[in-house]
């Protein structure tokens, strides 16, 4: 009788400890982390065109909020400022890893880390007015295109249609929207600062949720807040968005 009671207790405890399959959502690794601030010369600068080269550290989350993306990114852009208008064109490439913290190692298709990367281009255009030491970039248009590659992109194709894995296999992201920015300089014109707010959407043509194919649709809304600081020709950028952010350090050539 005692043995039977102990067995029943063990079985009950095992049922409590046992974890069933976990539902996992898998979308583009750099979703909402593709947009990045592009610096431009101020109206007060003696030279109104410049080339900006920077390196970035990217950290973000996946479609599962527990999953993590870490990457390094190289950015190159050329910017021009004319009377009341400035614009920038750039290219970038990123390499990193996607870390699974959602699916347990007892589940099919489990992995701990997979490589990921992306490459693409950015464009930014602003209309501005000047007040003293301040450029008020009233309205801007920004767009970013990127293509994702690596093991995590291949993994999403592999698990398409598999139970408990809901996935987006598309690897192209196109994000566009409007921005507003305030940029200024201190006592020394080579000490420059800026805040930029961006609102837009990512439109990669995701499918709607389909329980038969295990595909789903992410929110298209995209937003970011950026802070820029330049001392002489060295600059720093902090980009924050709902999925993570970038920290960039670079040099301005003119």
Q: For the whole model, what pTM was predicted?
A: 0.87
Q: pLDDT class for 236, splitting at 50, 70, 90?
A: very high
Structural tokens at position 206: 């995701």
Predicted confidence (pLDDT) per residue in 203-230, tens digit: 755 555 566 666 666 677 889 999 999 9
**What is the distance between the alpha carbons of residues 240 and 228, in angstroms, rounded to a whole number?**
12
Asked whether residue 9 is assigned to any structural domain, the reply reads no
| Mean local confidence (pLDDT), 105-129 | 96
Mean predicted confidence (pLDDT) in 8-15: 40
Domain count, the chain: 1
Q: What is the pLDDT of residue 130?
A: 96
Q: Residue 139 above 70 pLDDT?
A: yes
* pLDDT grade for 1, boundaries at 50, 70 and 90: very low
Summarised one tens digit per residue, pLDDT across range 15-59 is 344 457 888 889 899 988 899 999 999 999 999 999 999 999 999
CB 194 within 8 A of CB 181: yes
- pLDDT score recorded for residue 207: 54
Q: Domain residues for 125?
A: 37-253
The better pLDDT of the pair 110, 18 is held by: 110
pLDDT band at 63 (very low <50, low <70, confident <90, very high): confident
What CATH number does residue 149 fall under? Answer: 2.40.128
Domain annotation covers residue 25: no
Residue 220 lies in a domain: yes
Integer angstrom CA distances of residue 20 from 24, 38, 39 = 13, 46, 49
Tell me, yes or no, whether 17 lies in a domain: no
Residue 49 lies in a domain: yes
For residue 184, pLDDT over 80 is answered with yes
118 domain residue, yes or no: yes
| Confidence at residue 6, expressed as pLDDT on a 0 to 100 scale | 42
Evaluate whether residue 31 is within a structural domain. Answer: no
Asked if pLDDT for residue 107 goes beyond 70, the answer is: yes
pLDDT for residue 10 is more than 60: no
* Structure confidence at residue 4 as a pLDDT band (50, 70, 90): very low
* Cα-based distances in Å from 66 to 38, 60, 102, 151, 164: 30, 10, 6, 19, 16
User: Environment class of residue 149 by beta-carbon count within 10 Å: exposed (0-12), middle (13-18) or buried (19+)?
Assistant: middle
Question: Does the residue 246 lie in any domain?
Answer: yes
Chain mean pLDDT for the chain: 88
Among 2-6, 119-123, 240-244, the minimum mean pLDDT is found in 2-6
**Local confidence band at 170 (pLDDT 50, 70, 90 cut-offs):** confident
């Amino acid at each position: 009788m005692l043995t039977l009671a102990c067995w029943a207790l063990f079985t009950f405890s095992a049922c409590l400890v046992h974890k069933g399959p976990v539902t996992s959502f898998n979308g583009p690794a750099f979703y909402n982390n593709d947009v990045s601030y592009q610096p431009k010369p101020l109206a007060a600068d003696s030279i109104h065109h410049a080339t900006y080269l920077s390196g970035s550290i990217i950290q973000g989350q996946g479609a599962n909020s527990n999953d993590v993306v870490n990457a390094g990114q190289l950015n190159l852009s050329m910017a021009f400022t004319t009377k009341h208008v400035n614009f920038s064109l750039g290219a970038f490439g990123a390499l990193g890893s996607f870390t699974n913290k959602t699916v347990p190692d007892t589940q099919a298709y489990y992995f701990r880390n997979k490589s990921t990367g992306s490459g693409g281009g950015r464009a930014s255009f602003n209309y501005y007015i000047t007040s003293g030491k301040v450029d008020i970039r009233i309205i801007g248009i920004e767009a970013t295109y990127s293509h994702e590659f690596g093991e995590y992109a291949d993994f999403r194709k592999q698990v398409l249609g598999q139970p408990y894995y809901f996935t987006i296999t598309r690897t192209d992201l196109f994000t566009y929207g409007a921005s507003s920015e305030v940029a200024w300089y201190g006592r020394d014109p080579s000490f420059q600062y800026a805040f930029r707010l961006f609102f837009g959407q990512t439109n990669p043509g995701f499918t709607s949720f389909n329980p038969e194919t295990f595909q789903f649709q992410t929110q298209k809304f995209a937003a970011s807040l950026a802070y820029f600081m330049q001392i002489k020709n060295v600059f720093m950028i902090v980009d924050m968005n709902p999925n993570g952010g970038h920290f960039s350090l670079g040099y301005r050539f003119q």
